[in-house]
Every structure is written in structure tokens, then in C-alpha cells.
Structure 1
Amino acid sequence: MNNRINTNLAYKLSNHELDSYYLNNRASAVPKIPYEIPYEWRKEELERKERKRRIEERKIAIRMRSIYRVIGIERAKSIVSILAMVLIIAGLFTFIMVRHSQIVEQNFSNTRLANEVNQLNAANSDNYEELLTGIDLKDIEQQAYQMYGLRKPAQSQRIHMTLPEIDRVVRYNNDGTEIDLESDETTITFDANQIEMYMKKLRLQE
């Protein structure tokens, strides 16, 4: 009841103020409107602006994240490309170095084998020369006469032919003179160096 009375009194006071306002200002007067926005409206407006600001910030953050993601992907691609290029170059360099080491090792092996072959050839040449030096043709001839019944050929059985110098095996006496193959001298020295010189001449002519 008291609330209703207070409300009626407030309404009457407000009407009285309006009537006095219109009386003082006549027809050109306008009602007095308060310029301050109520607190509830102002709060809603602030909340709306805050929501709008948050939405804009969220959009900007999403856009920045997408930009950072694209930049990160491009950077990762660049790093992967550089690493792949470095690995390829390192692989090629390693392959070249391995092949070079294999070639050098093979060259050393070939050189070692060539030296061994030369040593074997020198040893064979020495053995061959020693073998030829130890051969006594007169002794062989005497053994052929005694053991196998070899007979000296008659004069009619001998064939005389002229041989070129490179096809002759020259035998010398102890005094260095060339022996006559038809003579019966027993002091004959067979010189293996003459055979070696003969083979060298053949190689030079080839």
C-alpha cells in the first residue's frame, strides 16, 4: 500500500514538472530527455563491443596461425630440399672417393703383379741360361754314339745349306774363334749368350 502511494506521488510530481515546463516554454518547448544511457544498455553495448573485439582478435589469430603454418611448411620444405641436396652431394663424393681408392688399389695390385712377373721372367732367364751353360753337346753326342747306336753321317748323307745369320747358333772354341762344324775338335765351348743374343735379334726384327 505504501509502495502504491509513493508511486502515485512520484507520478503526480513528474506530471507537475512537465506542466510547468510546457507553461514556461509554451508551444516550442520539448520535453526534457535525459542524455545519459542507462547502465544496462551501456553494459550490453560494452559486452557487444568486447565480443566483437574478441571475434576480430580470434580471426586475426587464426589468420596469423595459418600464415605461420604456411611459412613453417615452406621452411620445412626448403630445409628438406637442402638436406637432400647435401646428402646427394655427399653420396656422390663418397662414391667417387671409393671408386678412386679402388682404382688406386687396383693400380698398386697391377704394379705388384707386374713386378712379380718381371722377377719370375728374370729368374726363368737365369735358370734358362744356367741350364744352357750346363749342357755339353759333345757329351750328349758321345752318349748317343755309345748308348743309342748313333753313327756319323757319310759325306753323301750330309746336306749343305746356307743359313742366314739370324738363324744360326754360333759356337766358339776356347780361344774365341768360331768352330767349324765339320771339324772333329773336342774343345768346344757352347756359349748360351749367343742364343740369347740370337733371340734378341729375332725380337728386334719382329
Structure 2
Amino acid sequence: MNLYEHGNLALKGNLAPELYPYTSPGPLPLPDYETERRNRERRLHRLQYENSIYLNYKQGTRARSRHLFSLVLVVIAAVAVLGISVLRYAKITELNFSNVRLNREIKELEIENSLIQNAIINKINLDEIRENARTEAGLQQVSPQQIVQLDFSVSDKVVYTTGSASEMEYDFAVDTVIDWVMDQRQSQP
């Protein structure tokens, strides 16, 4: 099979130069098994060393990433707590400003109210009110016989079951005045 003469790859008339001289193969050298074994062991040790370096790097990376993750969680928790406290203090400050504004408005209204009361008191003429009470409402000057003094002992107590005492006293006084005025109107011809 050294000379391929048939088929599409056949040499035509030996036109191609001879690429490989026909030499008779000599005896093959015996392989050096000891050198190959040492090379394999060196390669195995090198691969084991590289693998151990890779595993150490991988374990270190995992430990660093866990540590970094826990550090990030701690920072996020601290920021959240700080943010909540800042928001609460901001809300407290806002409410404080609102209270100051309301107190200022209350003081302004009290000043305005006192000015109006003073103006009303200055305009009130007690003699004119007394005259209007006599003519329009039919009220009379109280005589000393009409004044009744009541003596309440120390053991007497008034118990209010519903409502506040001041409201009940006010309602009682208003009802008494209304009843008296109605009686006076009915008694007049």
C-alpha cells in the first residue's frame, strides 16, 4: 500500500515528488515508564494543589460574602431604626409647631375677646338695663321681704347622678328664671 495506484487519489505516473522516503523502520525505543510516572505524579500534585487553592478561595469567598451580607443587614437595620426615630421626631416637631400656632391663636382670640368684653362693658348702662327690665319684661325691684335666706347644714350634700354639676346648676337657674317670668306674665292683667 505504499504506492496507491488505483482510485481518484492515485498518483498519476508518479508525477508528484516523493514526500516520504521509504525507510525501513528501526526498533522503537522502549518508553521510560519511570519518567512518565514522575510526570503524572507531578501533574497530579499540581492539580491537587490548584484544587486546594480553589477550595480555600471558595470557602474564603463564602465566609466573606456571609460576613458582608450580615454586615449589610446590620447596616440596613440600623438605618431603619434611625429612620423611624427621625420620622417620629419630625412628627413630634411638627405637632409642637402646631401646638405653638394654636396657643398663639388662642392668645390672640383671648385678647380680642377681652377687648370686645371691655367695649361691651363700656357701652352698657346699668340704669338703662334696669329701666328696660321694668318696662319690657315686667320685672320689679326686690323688696327685703321677698329675699329668702336658706340655711344648709354641713351634713347636707347634693348628689348629681348625670351630667356635670355646673351644667345642672345652670339649667336649674335658667328654668327657675323662665318659670318666674312666665308666672309674672300670667299674673299681670
Q: If the TM-score is normalised by the length of the shorter chain, which range does it land in? A: 0.5 to 0.7
Q: How far is the alpha carbon of 1:115 from its aligned partner? A: 0.9
Q: Which residue does 2:57 correspond to in 1? A: 68
Give, in whole Å, the separation in 1 of the partners of 2:79 and 2:44.
51
Consecutive unaligned residues of structure 2, counting only runs of 5 or more, are: 1-27, 150-189
Alpha-carbon offset, residue 150 of structure 1: 3.9
What secondary structure, in the 3-state scheme, does the structure 2 residue paired with 1:40 have? coil
Is residue 2:163 matched to residue 1:144? no
Q: Give, in angstroms, the shift of residue 159 of structure 1.
A: 4.8
> Residue 122 of structure 2 aligns to which amino acid in structure 1?
T
- The yes-or-no answer on 1:101 pairing with 2:90 is yes
Shift of 1:158: 6.3
- Higher normalized helix content (fraction of residues): 1
Partner of 1:130: 119
* 1:110 Cα deviation from its structure 2 partner: 0.6
State whether structure 2 residue 30 is matched by structure 1 residue 40: yes
Give the Å deviation of 1:72. Answer: 0.6
Q: Following the alignment from structure 2 to structure 1, what is the Cα–Cα distance between the partners of residues 34 and 148?
A: 143
**What is residue 190 of structure 1 aligned with on the other side?**
none
TM-score, L = length of structure 1 = 0.52
Counterpart selection for 1:58 from 25, 47, 59: 47
Residues 105-154 of structure 1, C-alpha deviation per residue, up to 9 Å, x if partnerless? Answer: 11111111111111111111211222222111111222233334444455
The AA in structure 2 aligned to 1:116 is E
- 1:33-53 Cα deviation digits (max 9, x unpaired): xxxxx94242x3222221121
Over the residues paired in the alignment, what is the CA RMSD in angstroms?
Answer: 2.4
Alignment of 1:1-206 (within 5 A): 39-42=29-32, 44-153=33-142, 157=145, 159=147
Amino acid at match of 2:100: T
* Equivalent AA in structure 2 for residue 134 of structure 1: K
CA drift at 1:68: 0.8
Task: Render the CA deviation track for 1:167-192: whole Å, top value 9, x for unaligned.
Answer: xxxxxxxxxxxxxxxxxxxxxxxxxx
Task: Write the letter of the residue equivalent to 1:40.
Answer: L
Count of aligned residue pairs for this structure pair: 122
CA distance in 2, matches of 1:84, 1:152: 87
Provide the residue aligned with 2:152 in structure 1.
none
**Take 2:138 and 2:83, find their aligned partners in 1: how far apart are those partners?**
76
Q: Please, what TM-score do these two structures have when normalized by structure 2? A: 0.56
Residue of structure 2 equivalent to 1:26: none
- One-letter identity of the residue aligned with 2:125: D
Q: Aligned letter for 1:105?
A: E
Aligned twin of 1:23? none
